């Protein structure tokens, strides 16, 4: 009996010991697994076979998380992992502040079959400058900035800077969630195009160029944009570029917000802040070409890596720049991942794709003999067509509510058509035809406008061919083209009256809107990236009144569905009189989709008053004057006039009903009914 008890007790003790041992073993095993998992996670930054395969197929949409420079831990040591694509190189090493810029200190290992080089440098840290030293097969040594760098040395320096963009702080979840549901076609989109370096100059900043930091810029810009009534800002020159005078259209750092205005964290703060103020952010994006700077993408590893090898395809003779090789999967991957990088990683709401026509046409800017036809003997770049379809399908497919906007200046069909229907897949296109005709008309002495009346009406024949944005961009107020106010004919007061009439016509015409900075208060000088806008002009009545006027137009636009929700529907626009050429008067109606919001526009483009003017109307209703362009607050001559006008049965403009209105010289009247 006692023996059984002893045995029982011994058994219990043994069982407990076994349990404890098992528990310890399980804990150790779990700890080892956790360590291995952590180690695997830390090693996950490395380029693997799958990464190489996807990159070679052009479908590694997160490749920027692997390429470039990333903080990491390897074999228990902290450092930075570097990866660069240089398939034609003999050898590649990484040089920088961490190794005294010694060319042989940190050689990189070539990965096959991709031609990607990788290397891990112990002791390299965030903030340090670096480049890749590439030995070419013919023995040359090249010092190249990192194509995937997220931060760069401020010009005139050309090195890349190690940074960490994995810990950006965001508090714009409400905006980003709402963006997923956003249907831009049926919402107001009024864009303020801005060059951050010249919008305003810092009066007492440490930067000798007077650049505002992204954070300061965000607050000033948001306050102004909200007051004016814009819905979006479009920022020029954000990707890193070496030359101020290129305005950011000759890029060397596609994955780096320019260091002119601060760090990537500062840039993210700006986007986040604008979102919290309910302002969308669009960036100019340049896949058309890149510059020939020695540290940039040109002949990156001694051969043509990013550009076409055929100089008839790979060079823009007009611009002296290089053209991306859209036939290479890796190059397309570089660009598509870059678009996603801005839209997804930095929460950008849209990309305005620069110079689309120059990409689509093989003979763009080239004389006979300077270009190579496609396989069918034509002038279309078939590889670029495929690239755009791929780009837009991925970016918009993954990011509903974002915008991909084409600056396309020709009659290329279906730019905003669906890729599956042989369209290019953009969400919107700049309406360059409208812009050119509009400006040609507005420059004319009013006496000659009667013979050019069709310049203002022609755009309605193709207004629904694409999803358009009406633009008066920076390109129209540089290089001796004059500012908007100085394009206008006549003496001082006439110029302002003409511009008010022009802006009213732009407001009423179907399409989203874009206006370049300064033109909202009638900037007198042409724009220059080297100086700030002439804000001092707002001390003068005429300029302040013009700003008030544009503000009134923008707020009317935002609150009136008739001006935006049927932009792509012919039911949203109705001519009252498109043929009053002798008097150069245009009258038309904008309707909302539900028919409950309607605006009647009457615009007089001559200095001749029409006190006996009568306008035909669709319905026998009351018409309330909601904007009088001749009001004293806008710089006009009218101090008081009736607000409500009642239509009577009196035929005019082919309509059964009409009402009389005392239309002033350059008169603008917008009625709600």
Query: Could you give the residue numbers annotated as active site?
Result: 354, 407
β-pairing verdict for 160-161 and 129-135: antiparallel
CA-wise closest residue to 70 among 138, 140, 149: 149
Determine contact, residues 389/422, Cβ cutoff 8 Å: no
CA gap 471, 577 in Å, rounded: 25
The SS3 of residue 86 is: coil
Residue 400 parent element (H or E): none
Which residues, including other chains, have CB under 8 Å from residue 189's CB and lie 6 or more apart? 231, 232, 469, 512, 513, 564
Which residues, including other chains, have CB under 8 Å from residue 463's CB and lie 6 or more apart? 509, 510, 511, 573
Q: What is the DSSP string of 402-414?
A: -EEEE---S--TT
Residue burial 154-188, b: 16+ Cβ < 10 Å; e: rest: ebeebbbbbbbbeebeeebeebeeebeebebbeeb
Angle ∠(625,652,660) on CA atoms, nearest 5:
35
Residue burial 325-349, b: 16+ Cβ < 10 Å; e: rest: bbbbebbbbbbbbbbbbbbbbbbbb
CA-wise closest residue to 68 among 106, 109, 101, 117: 117
Peptide bond into 156 cis (omega under 30): yes
Query: Quick count: other Cβ atoms within 10 Å of Cβ 277?
Result: 16
CA-wise closest residue to 488 among 327, 607, 594: 607
CA-wise closest residue to 437 among 500, 517, 505, 385: 505
Residue 588 parent element (H or E): strand 585-591
Residue entry with tokens 């309707």: 591
Q: Assign residue 655 a region: left if phi > 0, alpha if psi is -120 to 50, beta otherwise? A: beta
CA gap 296, 260 in Å, rounded: 18
CA-wise closest residue to 313 among 250, 373, 355: 373
Tokens of 130: 């670096």
CA-wise closest residue to 231 among 476, 599, 555: 555
Query: Quick count: other Cβ atoms within 10 Å of Cβ 227?
Result: 12
DSSP secondary-structure letter at 111?
Answer: E
Start-to-end Cα distance in the chain = 106
DSSP secondary-structure letter at 552?
Answer: H
């Amino acid at each position: 009996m006692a023996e059984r008890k002893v045995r029982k007790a011994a058994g219990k003790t043994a069982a407990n010991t076994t349990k404890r041992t098992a528990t310890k073993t399980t804990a150790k095993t779990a700890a080892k697994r956790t360590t291995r998992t952590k180690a695997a996670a830390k090693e996950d930054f490395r380029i693997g076979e799958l990464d190489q395969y996807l990159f070679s197929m052009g479908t590694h949409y997160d490749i920027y998380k692997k390429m470039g420079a990333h903080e990491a831990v390897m074999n228990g040591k902290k450092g930075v992992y570097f990866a660069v694509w240089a398939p034609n190189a003999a050898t590649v090493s990484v040089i920088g502040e961490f190794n005294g810029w010694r060319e042989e200190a940190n050689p990189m290992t070539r990965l096959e079959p991709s031609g990607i080089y990788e290397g891990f440098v112990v002791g390299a840290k965030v903030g340090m400058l670096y480049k890749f030293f590439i030995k070419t097969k013919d023995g040359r040594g090249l010092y190249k900035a990192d194509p995937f760098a997220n931060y760069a040395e401020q010009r005139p320096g050309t090195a890349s800077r190690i940074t960490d963009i994995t810990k950006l702080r965001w508090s714009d979840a409400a905006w980003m969630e709402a963006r997923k549901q956003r249907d831009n076609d049926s919402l107001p989109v009024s864009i303020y195009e801005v060059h951050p370096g010249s919008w305003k100059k810092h009066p007492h900043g440490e930067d000798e160029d007077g650049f505002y930091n992204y954070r300061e810029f965000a607050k000033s810009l948001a306050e102004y944009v909200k007051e004016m009534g814009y819905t979006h800002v479009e920022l020029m020159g954000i990707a890193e570029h070496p030359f101020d005078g290129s305005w950011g259209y000759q890029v060397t750092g596609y994955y780096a917000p320019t260091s002119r205005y601060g760090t990537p964290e500062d840039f993210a703060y700006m986007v986040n802040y604008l979102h919290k103020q309910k302002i969308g952010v669009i960036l100019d994006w340049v896949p058309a070409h890149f510059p020939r700077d020695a540290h940039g993408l040109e002949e990156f590893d001694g051969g043509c890596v990013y550009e076409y090898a055929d100089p008839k395809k790979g060079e823009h003779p007009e611009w002296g720049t290089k053209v991306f090789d859209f036939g290479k999967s890796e190059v397309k991957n570089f660009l598509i991942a870059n678009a996603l990088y801005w839209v997804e990683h930095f929460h950008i709401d849209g990309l305005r794709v620069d110079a689309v026509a120059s990409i689509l046409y093989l003979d763009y800017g080239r004389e006979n003999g300077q270009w190579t036809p496609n396989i069918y003997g034509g002038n279309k770049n078939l590889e670029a067509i495929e690239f755009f379809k791929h780009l837009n399908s991925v970016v918009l497919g993954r990011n509903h509510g974002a915008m991909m906007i084409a600056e396309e200046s020709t009659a290329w069909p279906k730019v905003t058509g669906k890729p599956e229907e042989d369209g290019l897949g953009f969400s919107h296109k700049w309406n360059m035809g409208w812009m050119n005709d509009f400006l040609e008309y507005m420059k004319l002495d009013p006496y000659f406008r009667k013979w050019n009346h069709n310049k203002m009406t022609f755009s309605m024949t193709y207004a629904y061919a694409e999803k358009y944005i009406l633009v008066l961009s920076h390109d129209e107020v540089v290089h001796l083209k004059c500012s908007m106010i100085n394009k206008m004919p006549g003496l001082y007061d006439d110029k302002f009256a003409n511009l008010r009439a022009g802006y009213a016509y732009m407001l009423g015409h179907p399409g989203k809107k874009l206006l370049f900075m300064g033109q909202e208060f009638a900037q007198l000088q042409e724009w220059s990236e080297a100086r700030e806008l002439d804000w001092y002009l707002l001390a003068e009545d005429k300029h302040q009144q013009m700003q008030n006027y544009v503000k009134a137009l923008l707020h009317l636009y935002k609150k009136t569905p008739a001006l935006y929700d049927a932009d792509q529907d012919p039911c949203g626009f109705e001519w009252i009189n498109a043929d009053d050429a002798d008097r150069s008067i245009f009258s038309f109606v904008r309707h909302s989709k539900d028919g409950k919001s309607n605006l009647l526009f009457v615009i007089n483009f001559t200095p001749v008053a029409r006190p006996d003017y009568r306008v035909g109307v669709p319905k026998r209703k009351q018409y309330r004057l909601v904007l009088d362009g001749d009001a004293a607050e806008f710089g006009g001559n009218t101090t008081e006039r009736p607000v409500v006008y009642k239509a009577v049965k009196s035929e005019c403009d082919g309509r059964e009903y009409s009402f009389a209105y005392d239309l002033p010289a350059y008169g603008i009247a917008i009625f709600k009914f």
